[in-house]
Structure 1
Amino acid sequence: MRRTVLVTGGTYGLGRAISAELARDHNILRSYRKTAPGDDLEAQDNVVSCPCDLLQDGSAEDLVARALDQFGRIDVIVNNAGLVQSTPKERFDADAHQNVFALNAIAPQALLTAALPHLRAGAAIVSISSVNAVLPPQGAASYGASKAALNLWTRAMAKELGPQGIRVNAVAPGAINVPEAPRSDELTQLFVKDTALGRPGTPEDIAKAVRFLASDEASFITGEILTVAGGYRL
């Protein structure tokens, strides 16, 4: 029986790559807020996309209900939906700070709580963190802080859910070139200069790491933050 994966933010960038990678042998329920699906995954009967604003009350419960209605089970949750927003020290915007934390650090808890009654031993949670959790981004401190909070949440939930046989891990990408939002050549080269492998990452690099942590091959790995950054700033 195919396992079912719930991927938030699954129609764009890293989420799209993760959905495509896992759709080869899993059922996929992927959510989106702004970017409606427009790829060939929509033609597959094991991939379903649905609109969902995780900043809204009740959205997590609705998403879980949709996955259960469509596929009858949930085996893996990939917390990919996230918000990168400038929060400069010279100007305080309470909504900006709150939205960054709400989506990056709080929505995963809401989704886990909604899904927990339906998760069996062997289930896996994989969240998308960032190297900015430990390397503070200039002008976007709340983004880095929210990812640091996500890392701590990952370890805490791994400890709490371990007795139930549920694993919780995260992937921390470095500089990833996303086709839908390409960096300039100049900025790309600045990142490459500080990366040991001498190239930017691709969404597929992250998708393969997610596949590993979601799989039984990682059955004795939990509470870990797997950095996938090509040796960025070693």
Structure 2
Amino acid sequence: MEKVALVTGGARGIGHAIVEELSRDHRVAFTWLSTKPPAALLQRGTLAIRSDLTAPDQPAEVIAQVMERFGQLDVIVNNAGLVRSTPKEEFQVEEHRAILDMNLLVPAALLAAALPHLERGAAIVSISSMNAVLPPRDAVTYGASKAALNLWTRAMAKELGPDGIRVNAVAPGAINIPEAPRSEELTELFVKDTALGQVGRPEDIAKVIRFLASDAASFITGEVLSVTGGYRL
């Protein structure tokens, strides 16, 4: 029987690539908010759920829709995230809370809602960031939220291990997102500091997500796997 995967933020960028990759042999649901899903994704038989996951009732509602459509849930990919500048000279509490809500609390809320439906062999995979250990200038709350997500990943792996549920994360390096390309100057800086001499593609992350979600990774849990091409070695 095909596994069922839920991917948050699946309409663009890395999330889009993850949905495409997993839909080859999974039944896939994905959430979206502002970016309308491309027709090509919908033609794969996916379930597209428009949701503001930071709203208190939405994580449970999303899980309910997945269960109503597919009757099971085997994989959760916490891809949706929020990156905002938070310069030290300015402090707007709403901006900081929004980052923490999306990057840390939403994965926790989704897991809480999904737990009654997750069986032994289920997998949770979250998208972290190299900025969890390499502090980004003027975006420290973003980096802190990903560092907290890494700790949450390890803690949940420890708590859910006895139930046979694995929890891991992937920390991408510089990824070229077609919908939001970096400037040539910034791209060159990343390339210079990357051992492989290139930036990554969303597909590079999607393939690693597939591995961590699969039975091939059945003895891997509590890990944050860096997929950076050797950034800052």
Q: Normalised by the size of structure 2, how large is the TM-score? A: 0.99
Identity %: 63
Equivalent position amino acid for 1:78 in 2: V
Equivalent position amino acid for 2:8 in 1: T
Aligned equivalent of 1:22:
22
Equivalent position amino acid for 2:90 in 1: R
The CA RMSD over aligned residues, in Å, is 0.5
Aligned equivalent of 1:128:
127
Equivalent position amino acid for 1:198 in 2: G
Aligned equivalent of 1:73:
72
2:11 & 2:73 partners in 1: Cα distance?
19
Aligned equivalent of 1:111:
110
1:203 & 1:61 partners in 2: Cα distance?
28
1:86 & 1:135 partners in 2: Cα distance?
15
Q: How does 1:56-67 map to 2 (within 5 A)?
A: 56-67=55-66
Q: Are positions 1:157 and 2:140 aligned together?
A: no
Aligned equivalent of 1:218:
217
Q: Are positions 1:94 and 2:93 aligned together?
A: yes
Aligned equivalent of 2:36:
36
Equivalent position amino acid for 1:192 in 2: V
2:106 & 2:75 partners in 1: Cα distance?
16
Residue deviations 1:122-156 (CA, integer Å, cap 9, x gap): 00000000000000000000000000000000000
2:158 & 2:38 partners in 1: Cα distance?
39
- What SS is found at the alignment partner of 2:87? coil
Cα deviation for residue 36 of structure 1 reads 1.2
Q: Are positions 1:84 and 2:83 aligned together?
A: yes
Unpaired segments ≥5 residues, structure 1: none
2:39 & 2:12 partners in 1: Cα distance?
10
- What SS is found at the alignment partner of 1:168? strand
2:145 & 2:91 partners in 1: Cα distance?
16
1:9 & 1:162 partners in 2: Cα distance?
26
Equivalent position amino acid for 1:222 in 2: T
Runs (4 or more) in structure 1 with deviation over 3 Å come to: none
1:131 & 1:171 partners in 2: Cα distance?
9
- What SS is found at the alignment partner of 1:208? helix
1:14 & 1:125 partners in 2: Cα distance?
16
Aligned equivalent of 1:175:
174
1:39 & 1:22 partners in 2: Cα distance?
17
> How many residues align structurally?
233
Equivalent position amino acid for 1:60 in 2: P
- What SS is found at the alignment partner of 1:144? helix
- What SS is found at the alignment partner of 1:121? coil
Cα deviation for residue 210 of structure 1 reads 0.3
2:76 & 2:136 partners in 1: Cα distance?
27
2:80 & 2:214 partners in 1: Cα distance?
21
Equivalent position amino acid for 1:27 in 2: R
Q: Normalised by the size of structure 1, how large is the TM-score? A: 0.99
2:191 & 2:39 partners in 1: Cα distance?
29
- What SS is found at the alignment partner of 1:227? strand
2:156 & 2:190 partners in 1: Cα distance?
32
- What SS is found at the alignment partner of 2:176? coil
